[in-house]
């Protein structure tokens, strides 16, 4: 193992314990391939599965696997109109399993996510029977305060580039604390505890994933 891999493993194991102390189910996977297998162990073809955000789930190969192997996947992109897409997002709040990443995770085991329309954080907070969060080691930061800073100054300005909205971060690459109708930071949600216990399952991965 390289020094980076050794350090990441020790950090990951520490954060797994911190997450467990907050009643999340949590595990450390050294590689994307291990993370994919771990996530598949929590899924079956009878479940209705949906997701919010795609970068990390695409990177570990989970969404391609589910599409290619006949899982019951509810995808917003399948809606032909904005109204159909909004209806799919509403239905996703009652699915069996919701897949997502986190914008940041503090070393003491708190998840921080920013969201524009709030469908992703709504599903995280309540609705789907289980939520599987996959996050690369690059998402781990020192404190819950640092997690909010990461979410707003790193994750959101990069994420905003995907939407071409009229926001300061889209144009300048940095957060301008905007109130734009296109703002993707309408909600800033800290998940301090998992309740009921075990509903949110967190897979920490020893490789950078997403942004």
Residue choice 156, 200, 203, 205 for contact with ligand SF4 (CB under 6 A):
156
Task: Scan residues 54-73 and list those touching ligand SF4 (CB under 6 A).
Answer: none
Q: Is 167 in the site for ligand SF4 (CB under 6 A)?
A: yes
Q: Is 53 in the site for ligand SF4 (CB under 6 A)?
A: no
Query: By C-beta, is 11 or 158 nearer to ligand SF4?
Result: 158
Q: Which pairs with CB-CB distance under 8 Å and at least 24 residues apart come from 124-129? A: 124/98, 124/100, 124/189, 124/191, 124/200, 125/189, 125/191, 127/93, 127/94, 127/95, 127/98, 128/50, 128/92, 128/93, 128/94, 128/95, 128/96, 128/97, 128/98, 129/96, 129/97, 129/199
Least distance in Å: CB of 179 to ligand SF4? 8
- Cα 13 from Cα 52, distance rounded (Å): 26
Residue choice 57, 133, 184, 209 for contact with ligand SF4 (CB under 6 A):
184
Query: By C-beta, is 136 or 157 nearer to ligand SF4?
Result: 157
Q: Is 164 in the site for ligand SF4 (CB under 6 A)?
A: no
Q: Is 157 in the site for ligand SF4 (CB under 6 A)?
A: yes
Residues that bind ligand SF4 (CB under 6 A): 152, 156-157, 160, 167-169, 175-178, 180, 183-185
């Amino acid at each position: 193992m390289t020094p980076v891999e050794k350090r990441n493993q020790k950090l990951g194991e520490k954060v797994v314990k911190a997450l467990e102390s907050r009643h999340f189910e949590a595990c450390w996977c050294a590689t994307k391939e291990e993370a994919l297998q771990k996530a598949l162990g929590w899924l079956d073809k009878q479940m209705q599965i949906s997701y919010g955000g795609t970068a990390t789930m695409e990177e570990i190969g989970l969404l391609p696997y589910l599409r290619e192997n006949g899982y019951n996947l509810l995808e917003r992109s399948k809606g032909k109109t904005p109204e159909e897409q909004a209806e799919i997002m509403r239905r996703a709040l009652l699915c069996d399993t919701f897949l997502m990443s986190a914008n940041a995770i503090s070393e003491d085991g708190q998840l921080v996510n920013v969201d524009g329309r709030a469908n992703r954080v709504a599903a995280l907070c309540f609705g789907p029977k289980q939520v599987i969060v996959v996050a690369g080691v690059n998402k781990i930061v020192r404190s819950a305060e640092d997690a909010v800073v990461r979410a707003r100054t790193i994750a959101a300005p990069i994420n905003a580039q995907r939407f071409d909205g009229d926001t300061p971060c889209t144009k300048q690459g940095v957060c301008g604390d905007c109130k734009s109708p296109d703002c993707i930071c309408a909600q800033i949600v800290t998940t301090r505890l998992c309740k009921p216990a075990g509903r949110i399952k967190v897979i920490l991965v020893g490789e950078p994933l997403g942004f």
